[in-house]
Structure 1
Amino acid sequence: MSKHNLHRAQWTVLYYLYNYGASTNVDISHYQGVEKPTTTRTINRLEELEYVELVKGKDKREKRVQLTEIGITVYESVRITIDQFEQEMLTGITEEQQQETIQIMEEIRNNMKK
């Protein structure tokens, strides 16, 4: 992330918006598992960088956040870097081992929520 001058929280917002489309701060906060003010600060910084913009929602009170063209370009560039890094880290690990690890991590996460 540092290569692209992004923090993890900023990347997570870009990832969410790219994959799920325009969303509210509350939706993004729930996805990240953080308080709304934390998400608001992150979105404000991304807005300053011109990676996201606020758009009107279904009613006048609702504001949604969406990626700008610059934000889409940045996301796609970072995604390439992440994919390359993941490939390097997974060298020598079979697809079966990767899937088993993912299942184990999901079980651990579910146990933490209890």
Structure 2
Amino acid sequence: MQTYQKFFHQLLLMYRPFENRLNVHLAEHQLYRAQWTILYYLANNGTATLVELSHYMSVEKPTVTRTMTRLEELGYVEHVVGKDKREKRMQLSAAGQKIYQDIRVTIDQFEQEILEGITEKEQINAIRIMGIIRDNITNKG
């Protein structure tokens, strides 16, 4: 088996267990990964349109709309006026900021646990490599 084949095989074997365990931790807060991804994006980028979020998450806009509707029902996100009044921008509400901080503690512990034995330098290199692969997928697909 070629190295690149082993690489992608390991990636596929890692993805599902990671997402399953992440969802277990998020379930403690009555959320799922897609909802967490939006909370994460808004916490780190301020506001976003549904289109921006759909591009970030690499999913269709209706998928983001459903997830955003649920987050809105929970009181975690709210509308904010954009430059263009037709533009529908969203941001974390006060409750959303609080739940993000609460969940962040849980996720930080989980992520540190599963990265045990991997140096920061190795993590930085892996982040760089994953970024290049993602760019290759999105720019050549």
Give me the TM-score of the superposition, normalised by structure 1: 0.89
**Which of the numbers 44, 52, 56 marks the counterpart of 1:31?**
56
The one-letter code matched in structure 1 to 2:59 is V
2:86 counterpart of 1:61: yes
Deviation of 1:96 (Å): 2.4
Unaligned runs of 5+ in 1: none
Q: Deviations over 1:87-113 (max 9, x none)?
A: 111222222222232233223323323
Name the structure 1 match of 2:21.
none
Deviation of 1:42 (Å): 0.6
Hey, what's the Cα distance between the residues in 2 that align with 1:82 and 1:48? 23
The one-letter code matched in structure 2 to 1:30 is H
Q: Which moved more, 1:4-13 or 1:89-98?
A: 89-98
Name the structure 1 match of 2:43.
18
SS at match of 1:4: coil
The one-letter code matched in structure 2 to 1:44 is T
Percent identity (aligned)? 61
Hey, what's the Cα distance between the residues in 1 that align with 2:89 and 2:43? 13
Deviation of 1:7 (Å): 1.0
2:78 counterpart of 1:50: no
Hey, what's the Cα distance between the residues in 1 that align with 2:136 and 2:120? 24
Number of residue pairs the alignment of both structures matches: 114
Unaligned runs of 5+ in 2: 1-25
Q: Deviations over 1:35-62 (max 9, x none)?
A: 1111111110000000001122223212
| Structure 1 pair 22–91 and aligned structure 2 pair: CA distance change class (3 A) | same
| Structure 1 pair 110–52 and aligned structure 2 pair: CA distance change class (3 A) | same
Hey, what's the Cα distance between the residues in 1 that align with 2:121 and 2:57? 28
Name the structure 1 match of 2:10.
none
Name the structure 2 match of 1:101.
126
Hey, what's the Cα distance between the residues in 1 that align with 2:87 and 2:135? 32
Q: Which moved more, 1:62-71 or 1:90-99?
A: 90-99
